[in-house]
Amino acid sequence: MKKQSIFKASFEESLNLEDDGFVKLQQEQHDRTAKFFKNGYASLWFRIRSLILSLIFPVGFNFFLLIVSIEFHESKTLTLPIAKHESLTVNVFLILVFIWFSFIVIGKWVKRAYLLPYRYQFHAFTFMVWFLLEMDLVVFDILLANLSTFEIIAIYGIMMIATYMLFTIALAGLRKLMYAELSEDTFLYKIAKMISLYGMAILGIGIIIKHILGIFSLDVSTSIKAFGFLLLWIFCNIVVVAIIAFIGLPYFLQAYYKWKYPEEYREWEGKSVEEWYGKKYLKKHQEYLKHE
């Protein structure tokens, strides 16, 4: 049986997204954010606060990771060896800053009042991805100097399989919720699940044994700390992927359907045209006033 696309639901089917537990969880934050947008305009305080938070978190935190990367490569006391050349350079940081701000500029084209909270939350999610990417670049330099090519490929392979499994589960859950579609575990899915569950444990045991045996000329204490750091990094990656798959995906999918069926959702939520679209948007799209 062919699986249905999560982007081709009818209005009635899209309403089932409201029953998703993670959408309900995100709805509380969504409602708090929506209060700052009146008639399609963000309040002055909200703009000031957003600017300050952007400088502190997306820009500030990621700049801090750049400093950490530089310090690691210049440090004379770092316990673990690190790659000679930096993956996270100033140029890479500036490119990522440019990409993130480009998303903000592009988001300015989204002017419908009911979509503004989604736009704001989207920037929060992209910051999280940006931060994870920089952290991965820093860790990659450490892995490159301490593990073999096979071990690095194995680690990233297992993480990719875990990512595949998480998104597969999330998509299957959404299709089941929206279309009452029965999901079947494919052979590939079962293999991915087995590797994601047991592969990291097997790989981890092999790596720590090699460390203990002195393959990398490290003492046992350093080996255990390094292994713990490796597991923490992998865990952080999987948590972020899980957040995107189980919270971000259904949340922004709901925004897509509100964009696709604006009038149906407006009537469903009992909002007036002005409340739904905002005065700013209606100034250039007065055709919606006929629906009042």
pLDDT of residue 13: 94
Kindly give the parts of the chain with pLDDT less than 50.
Answer: 187-189, 192, 195-196, 209, 212-218
pTM of the predicted model as reported, rounded to 2 decimal places = 0.81
Domain ranges of the chain: 23-281
| Residues facing 41 on adjacent strands | 38
pLDDT of residue 259: 94
pLDDT of residue 215: 44
pLDDT of residue 256: 96
pLDDT of residue 15: 94
pLDDT of residue 2: 66
pLDDT of residue 58: 86
pLDDT of residue 244: 92
pLDDT of residue 133: 95
